[in-house]
Amino acid sequence: MRCPFCSHLDSKVLDSRQTEEGASIRRRRECASCQKRFTTYERVDELPFLVIKKDGGREAFSRTKILNGILRACEKRPISLEVIEKTVDDIERHIRSGQDREIHSELIGELVMDKLRGLDDVAYVRFASVYRQFKDVEGFIEEVQQLRQDK
């Protein structure tokens, strides 16, 4: 491991422990040359997931895009950031548990809508209006009626 202070290549590990989430290992190191200490993080290098967009294009899976979409839908709603983070974790876990390295954007959208339906009706309708691209008020009315029937 290259020292960030003197660029020497030799260092020793003083302490190792898992991060709170258990997704990575934090290591305290000491440079063999300058004796300065620094921290590194080690995590599993997962194969990338590709999202197949509606137009057929492909892009790397982005947890941040899902988080931002849910945050927008839940804006000014009584839903804590902790609950939103857990929801995004559940969606990502579901996606990563599958065998396919490519996933259709429609499946991601449906997963988000399923989670939001259980969280908050207003957030669900907000997300659905963007995701399903309602053209008029009738789309909203149909979605709200379907939501009422499901409840």
Q: What pLDDT score was predicted for residue 45?
A: 67
Question: 138 versus 51: which is more confidently predicted?
Answer: 51
pLDDT tens figures, 52-90: 998 999 999 999 999 999 999 999 999 999 999 999 999
How far apart are the C-alpha atoms of 85 and 103, rounded to whole Å? Answer: 21
Q: What letter would DSSP give residue 48?
A: P
pLDDT of residue 71: 97
If residue 113 lies in a helix (H) or strand (E), which one and from where to where?
Answer: helix 105-119
Q: What is the pLDDT of residue 107?
A: 93
Which candidate, 64, 41, 60, 43, places its Cα nearest to that of 52? Answer: 60
Q: 38-65 as b/e, with b when 16 or more CB fall inside 10 Å?
A: eeeeeeeeeeebebbeeeeeeeebeeee
Inter-residue contact 106 to 95 (CB < 8 Å): no
Coil, helix or strand at residue 74: coil
What is the three-class DSSP state of 105? helix
Asked which of 3-17, 35-49, 53-67, 118-132 is least confident by mean pLDDT, the reply is 35-49
Please tell me the pTM assigned to this model. Answer: 0.66
List, in order, residues 6 or more apart from 74 with CB less than 8 Å away.
84, 116, 119, 120, 123
